[in-house]
Amino acid sequence: MQESKQLTPLMRQYNDIKSKNTDLIVFFRLGDFYEMFDSDAREASRILGIALTQRGGVPMCGVPYHAAANYISKIIKEGRKVGICEQVGTGEGKSKLFERKIVRVITPGTVIEDNMLQSNVSNYLVCVFTDKKGWGAAAIDVSTGEFWVTEQADDISLNGLSCMLAALNPAEILLDKITLDRVKSSMMIPGSVATTIVPREESSQIPSNWPSQSVWAGKKTALTCALTAIKYINVNEPGFKDLLIPFYKEISDYLALDENAVRTLELVSQNGARKGSLWHLLDFTVTPMGGRTLKNWILNPLLNLADIEKRQNCVSNFYDNPLAYEELKVILADISDIERIMSRVGTGNAGPRDLAGLARSLAVHGALKNWFDKYGAVVPYLKENILSKITVIEDLANLLNSAIEPNPPIKISDGGIIKQGFNAELDDLRNTKNNSSKTLAELCEREKAKTGISTLKVGFNSVFGYYIEVSKGQSGKVPFSYTRKQTLTNAERFITEELKEIEDKILHAEEKILRLETSLFDSVRKHLAEHIGVMRSFAKAIAELDVYSNLAHCAKVYKFTKPVIDESNILKAADLRHPVVEACLPLGSFVPNDIDLGGETQISVITGPNMGGKSVYLKQAAVLVILAQMGSFVPAASAHVGIVDKIMTRIGAQDAIAMGQSTFMVEMKETSHILASCTPKSLILLDEVGRGTSTFDGISIAWAITEFLYKPHGGGAKVLFATHYFELTDLENKYKGIKNFHAEVQEYKDADGQSKIAFLYKIKEGAGDKSYGIHVGELAGLPATVIVRAKKVIKDLEAKKGTSVSKKEDDIVGDLFSSPIVEEIKLVNTDAVTPMQALQMILEWKKRINS
């Protein structure tokens, strides 16, 4: 920043405002532009891709005022907040400087404008506070009015919080310093999410429209979160007061998916994009509410059997009634984003096009009623729910239909929003205005005849009002009674007394029309706001209808079947597929596989070549559970799913350099989290755990982890463990519930006699013994010299050791385990020690003997 004495008054004003709002990118209004300065300018020019210039040595950049919304939306998508600083004074006084102040703060979690939101994605502001043993949270989507709180009093490791944040993917998080330190250390909040440190609002004053005191008993942290979040929202968007009413949600009612599971299973995004995710594949919804609900269901599968069956039955009914689906789709296609429009209605921000959209949406009431008369049995509980509101919907539809033009302009100030016939006074004024236009046309003809100027015309502009225009060539014929107003290159403009009078009449009528239209629009908007509760619940029911019919459609398109669901520990499916991978491959080329866990087999150790299909096999098991528990059909010939409480995954390599953690450290942290929090009802996917370190350490860790997870007689979590450590296949001989599988390949010789492999993608019982890593390297295009050399090296190594490299290591460990000379080893339970630990103990022991 420049020395303050060198600064212009304007820059001093800017610095003063900026110093009080350091966390905001300040959009500083100068004429028709919002300007940004200094560090804000540098950041904004990077985010927005606009030129950075200099003024008096200060970096600056700017965006046109009328196009600001698009730029603001890009900035808040980066997790930053924007302060809109407007001119509020008159610019009078000694300095002649306009007074300016921040009139609105736009934050990622409090936006309501459509062009700043993704239509099918909820936009959550989450407030979280930890306490001694657990945590509480409030989640609010101000754009739809969704608001719930939850609390877990006994979750010291914050596992539940991590799952909740993964499912919500918040746009903005409010927390205090203590909470931030705790969640930061467990890597729960991605760096791109806006976080704001706020003090806890610990008032005992519960707003009168919130659930009563009794609901909050024992939920002190949740209440604090709710009050803090509301306070924050009210500062930024005061219009929301009274519109947000929380309900208590027990998050332990939902299957827990932690951040790793959500990311690695690519449930809602693949490398940050929706395309390629399960959500994208399943989404045929026709309403924005339906799209959001589908995503919500994927990320929050249910645990309660009755609730799952209720959803499953609705999907099943639609599946059996394709006509019900087809007819419903046509009706739903006319429905706009009722939830978000109603939020704007409630806060007074709805524009003409919002109400026109609402009018179209509510006009479906008749068709919807007929649909329920015909197909009500398909979704019995929604029939009652929707029909009980249909009279209110019909009334509001009639009001909107009679009041609002179907294709109004964007802004109220452009006029032409209220329909003819809705208000007699408005119709009168419009007549006056229209007749005046006729009068203007008559005046034009009269003046032409009087002056003999054939090119004479009457026009209007916002600076001079109405004028008579005469081309330069004929200006000599203009009578003295004309007063010159403007000279153009080819024409002259004049006014006359008569024209002035007509202008007065017209402008007067126009002003009155605009004022009246605005007030009529406001009264319609206010009337709608009185029914916000009914409309939100109507929108919710529409969203469910959309998702049920959508899931039935998916079942048809992707050939899903209805799974058996119960409280058992079984996870069994015949010809199971991964729907997303299948959709990417040529038709019919995906190879289905069976799975059978939770009965005789608790842990499957899956070996086989690179690229053999092991990871896909693991992931499809998780997708099976998620689909089944969200109420959908599943991609298998048949399936039996005992309700799973958590899906935990350790898949793929990822490091967190920013947090000072190596790939292997992250891998170990994630694994220890799994071991600490899995239950007998969990499903665990481990893909090559232990490979980020030396072979010995890796095998030892993988071995010990598997033993840790093993609980005889089906009492442990169901585990699928894909590995290249052939040594782990020995576990099958030691433990009854551990079984080996392998991904099958076929070796063959090509025309040149070179040995090649074909991947069959069939997961078969028994152990696979080769990794074919060099073949895969060849397929991936490693230089031929590298491949030839690698083949030579492996031959030499195998010749030296007599067998495969890691197999030999395992023999050494095995020999040492059973070594008769190691008396001390007998004192410990060898089942509880990893081979690596055993090896180290023996070396220690030897050292001691030798010394």
Binding site feature residues: 608-615
Q: Select the residue whose beta carbon is closest to ligand ATP and give its number.
A: 613
> Which residue lies nearer to ligand ATP by CB, 121 or 616?
616
Closer CB to ligand ATP, residue 643 or residue 745?
745
Single-letter residue type at 531: H
Provide the residue count of the chain. 851
Within 706-735, the residues that bind ligand ATP by CB under 6 A are 722
Q: Give the CA count within 13 Å in the CB-facing half-sphere of 713.
A: 0
Residue recorded with tokens 């009328």: 66
Which listed residue (282, 616, 709, 842) binds ligand ATP by CB under 6 A?
616
610 lies in the binding site for ligand ATP (CB under 6 A): yes
Does 581 participate in binding ligand ATP (rule CB under 6 A)? yes
Q: Amino acid identity of 559?
A: K
DSSP string, 657-692: GGGTB-HHHHHHHHHHHHHHH--TT-EEEEESTTTT
Classify strands 738-749 and 755-765 as parallel, antiparallel or unpaired. antiparallel
Own/partner contacts of 305-310, CB < 8 Å, gap of 24 or more, are 305/565, 305/566, 305/567, 305/643, 308/565, 308/628, 308/629, 308/631, 308/643, 309/565, 310/381, 310/631
The region of 255-263, 502-510, 545-553, 605-613 touching ligand ATP under the rule CB under 6 A is 605-613
Cβ closer to ligand ATP: 141 or 688?
A: 688
Between CA 706 and CA 715, with CA 709 as vertex, the angle to 5 degrees is 135
614-630 and 305-320 are packed helices; what angle lies between their axes, rounded to 10 degrees?
90
Task: Please say which residue, 11 or 591, places its beta carbon nearer to ligand ATP.
Answer: 591
Q: Nearest Cα to 579, choosing from 548, 638, 619?
A: 619
- Asked if 615 touches ligand ATP (CB under 6 A), the answer is yes
Shortest spacing between CB 593 and ligand ATP, in angstroms: 6
Nearer to ligand ATP, 72 or 701 (CB): 701
Using CB atoms within 10 Å of the CB of residue 411, give its burial: 0 to 12 exposed, 13 to 18 middle, 19+ buried: exposed
Q: How far is the CB of 613 from ligand ATP (least distance, A)?
A: 3
> Is residue 637 within the footprint of ligand ATP (CB under 6 A)?
no
Smallest distance, Å, CB 722 to ligand ATP? 6
Q: Which stretch binds ligand ATP (CB under 6 A): 10-18, 74-82, 521-529, 611-619?
A: 611-619
743 binds ligand ATP (CB under 6 A): yes
Q: What mask, x for binding ligand ATP by CB under 6 A, covers residues 506 to 545?
A: ----------------------------------------
Q: Which stretch binds ligand ATP (CB under 6 A): 190-198, 256-264, 435-443, 585-593?
A: 585-593
Q: Which residue, 585 or 659, has its beta carbon nearer to ligand ATP? A: 585
State the nearest-atom distance from the C-beta of 591 to ligand ATP, in Å. 4
> Can residue 678 be called a binding residue for ligand ATP (CB under 6 A)?
no
Q: Which is nearer to ligand ATP, 499 or 743 (CB)?
A: 743
Q: Which is nearer to ligand ATP, 604 or 615 (CB)?
A: 615
Query: Which is closer to ligand ATP, CB of 543 or CB of 705?
Result: 705
Which letter does DSSP use for residue 724 in this model?
A: S
HSE (CB half, 13 Å, CA atoms) of 24?
Answer: 22
Annotated binding site for ATP: 608-615
The two tokens of residue 187 are 């890597």
590 binds ligand ATP (CB under 6 A): yes
CB of 760 to ligand ATP, least distance (A): 9
Question: How far is it, in rounded angstroms, from Cα 741 to Cα 743?
Answer: 7
Choose the stretch contacting ligand ATP; rule: CB under 6 A; options: 285-293, 610-618, 674-682, 808-816: 610-618
Number of residues near ligand ATP (by CB under 6 A): 15
Q: Do residues 71 and 36 lie in contact, with contact meaning Cβ atoms separated by under 8 Å?
A: no
Kind of pairing between the strands at 247-248 and 146-152: parallel
CB of 813 to ligand ATP, least distance (A): 23
The values of phi and psi at residue 3, to 5°, are: -55, 140
Nearer to ligand ATP, 42 or 764 (CB): 764
Q: Contact, 310 vs 381, CB < 8 A?
A: yes
Q: How far is the CB of 689 from ligand ATP (least distance, A)?
A: 12
Minimum separation from the CB atom of position 834 to ligand ATP (A): 23
Task: Pick the closer one to ligand ATP by CB: 79 or 612.
Answer: 612
Judged by CB under 6 A, which of 378, 611, 683, 686 binds ligand ATP?
A: 611
Shorter beta-carbon distance to ligand ATP: residue 493 or 577:
577
**Stretch of 279-287, 583-591, 747-755, 811-819 lying at the interface with ligand ATP (CB under 6 A):** 583-591
When asked if residue 740 is in the footprint of ligand ATP (CB under 6 A), the reply is: no
CA 475 vs CA 327, 446, 459, 467, 500: distances in Å = 67, 17, 16, 14, 20
In whole angstroms, what is the distance from residue 661 CA to residue 531 CA? 52
CB-wise, 589 or 754, nearer to ligand ATP? 589
Cα Dmax for the chain: 129
Tokens matching residue 412: 């109220």
Q: Measured between alpha carbons, how far is residue 215 from residues 30, 135, 668 in Å?
A: 50, 17, 40
Place of tokens 């330190």: 181
273: DSSP letter: B
Under the binding rule (CB under 6 A), the answer on residue 613 touching ligand ATP is: yes
**Which of 108, 612, 692, 716 contacts ligand ATP by CB under 6 A?**
612
Candidates 761, 775, 778, 842: give the one binding ligand ATP (CB under 6 A).
Answer: 761
Evaluate whether 7 touches 15 at the Cβ level (below 8 Å). Answer: yes
Where in 17-76 is the site for ligand ATP (CB under 6 A)?
none
H-only helix segments in 49-158: 68-77
- In angstroms, rounded to a whole number, what is the distance separating the alpha carbons of residues 716 and 680? 4
Closest approach of ligand ATP to the CB of residue 53, in Å: 48
Query: Three-state SS for 616?
Result: helix
Sheet holding 646-650, edge to edge: 256-257, 646-650, 683-687, 718-722, 603-607, 738-749, 755-765
- Cα separation of 175 and 192, whole Å? 16
Q: Closest distance between ligand ATP and the C-beta of residue 784, in Å? A: 21
User: Out of 233, 261, 541, 591, which residue is the one contacting ligand ATP (CB under 6 A)?
Assistant: 591
Q: Which of 536, 614, 742, 775 binds ligand ATP (CB under 6 A)?
A: 614
Nearer to ligand ATP, 226 or 606 (CB): 606
Tokens 């594949």, residue? 281
- Write down the least CB distance from residue 653 to ligand ATP, Å: 10
Tell me the C-alpha to C-alpha distance, in Å, between residue 832 and each of 698, 708, 820, 846.
17, 8, 19, 21
Residues in contact with ligand ATP by CB under 6 A are: 581, 585, 589-591, 610-616, 722, 743, 761
